[in-house]
Copies of this chain bind each other. A is one copy, B any other.
Amino acid sequence: MSEFDLIDALLADEAPLPSWVSMGPGDDAAVLTLPPDSEWVLSTDTLVEGRHFLPDTPPDLLAYRALAVNLSDLAAMGATPSGFLVALVAPELDVAWCRRFSAGLRAASGSSGARLVGGNLARGPLAVTVTVTGTVPRGCALLRSGARVGDAIYVSGSIGGALAARRLLDTDAASRSGLSTLSLEGVEEGLRPYLLPAARVALGQRLRGIASACIDVSDGLLADLGHLCNRSGVAAQIWLESLPVAEVDPLEAVVAGDDYELLFTVPAGRSIDSAGSDLGLTHIGQIEPGAGVRLLAADGSEVAVARRGWSHF
């Protein structure tokens, strides 16, 4: 088995590269062409076996997740995905594994526009680092720093679904032992929020010109809102009763990570109608002066929460 057989397997079912890819895989580097008057958006994220995914995760599910969590960062910037690089470290690889991995990448990219343009293979403990690239019209990137006092706070979809799915995997012996036998099509609805998270790429692009600030909920809603407030120099109040929560206790949902929804702020009086989607966008709170994030019950009293989000390290 040569490295080139593995690369061929990774690229086997790829469609012809689009016009913006001047050079795809196979040279020292990829070469991409930008639309005029745009800026380049770049992000990277690593998934390590046993820490960010379960050891039995099949290659297509692993690849899907590795790309989706990166696309979520582009979504949070309002960027249009263009290309991505995959740096794959694995103890061993074969052609069948690579073909399934490749299928997972294609599934996660979907209609987002992101195309595999390069990467690297290395031998070592299983870990996948994806670097995504995208574009925004010049000056239109959705930053964490743009929230202002009085802005409304919204979240897309619902939170807590990934936590519910992880619990199912942890406690349901059938789900866990069945994990290694799953393929992309066979993932039951309840496991999808964790195993196959959907990056809100189209929504992010629609939020350009609407949202004053944006972040993806990967570390937990309270933690990520805290990041946004820090960068914006503001505080926030969140209304517990308003939170769109899936299947778990709302107090757990706000500190659980891995949901990959978009959390964004909108200046008072600005309509979000043109951002609307079948995801649902929920008004969950308000930006206020000061620092920090307060979670408020229906009677206006502050609710204490135990743990604030996922620590990367």
**Chain A interfacial positions (CB closer than 8 Å to B):** 2-3, 6, 22-23, 26-34, 36, 39-52, 73-74, 76-77, 79, 83, 85-87, 89, 93, 117-125, 127, 129, 131-134, 136, 138-139, 141, 143-145, 214-216, 231, 311-313
A237 to B44, CA, bound (A): 41
**Which residue among A23, A46, A132 has the maximum number of chain B CB atoms within 10 Å of its CB?**
A46
Cβ-defined contact, B51 with A124, below 8 A: yes
How many chain copies? 2
Cβ-defined contact, B313 with A23, below 8 A: no
**Which residue among A85, A87, A124, A125 has the maximum number of chain B CB atoms within 10 Å of its CB?**
A124
Nearest B residue to A32, CB-CB: B40
Nearest B residue to A262, CB-CB: B28
Cβ-defined contact, B44 with A120, below 8 A: yes
Set of chain B residues within 8 Å of A41, measured between Cβ atoms: 29-32
A23 to B78, CA, bound (A): 14
A136 to B33, CA, bound (A): 10
Cβ-defined contact, B3 with A312, below 8 A: yes
Q: Nearest chain B CB to A21's CB is how many angstroms away?
A: 10
Given A129-B46, A313-B121, decide whether A77 and B136 contact each other with a Cβ distance below 8 A.
no
Set of chain B residues within 8 Å of A134, measured between Cβ atoms: 29
Cβ-defined contact, B215 with A51, below 8 A: no
Instruction: Among B28, B118, B311, point to the contact of A215 (Cβ < 8 A).
Output: B28
Given A22-B39, A141-B23, decide whether A93 and B313 contact each other with a Cβ distance below 8 A.
yes
Nearest B residue to A144, CB-CB: B27
Set of chain B residues within 8 Å of A73, measured between Cβ atoms: 28-29
Instruction: Among B31, B47, B89, point to the contact of A141 (Cβ < 8 A).
Output: B31
Cβ-defined contact, A313 with B22, below 8 A: no
A134 to B3, CA, bound (A): 26
Instruction: Among B6, B40, B48, B119, point to the contact of A44 (Cβ < 8 A).
Output: B119
Given A31-B136, A33-B39, A127-B89, decide whether A143 and B44 contact each other with a Cβ distance below 8 A.
no
Cβ-defined contact, A123 with B44, below 8 A: no
Q: Nearest chain B CB to A72's CB is how many angstroms away?
A: 8
Instruction: Among B138, B214, B312, point to the contact of A33 (Cβ < 8 A).
Output: B138
Set of chain B residues within 8 Å of A136, measured between Cβ atoms: 31
Question: Which 3 A-B pairs rank lowest in CB-CB distance, beginning with the nearest?
Answer: A48-B124, A29-B43, A28-B76
Instruction: Among B32, B51, B76, point to the contact of A42 (Cβ < 8 A).
Output: B32
Q: Nearest chain B CB to A24's CB is how many angstroms away?
A: 11
Q: Nearest chain B CB to A143's CB is how many angstroms away?
A: 6
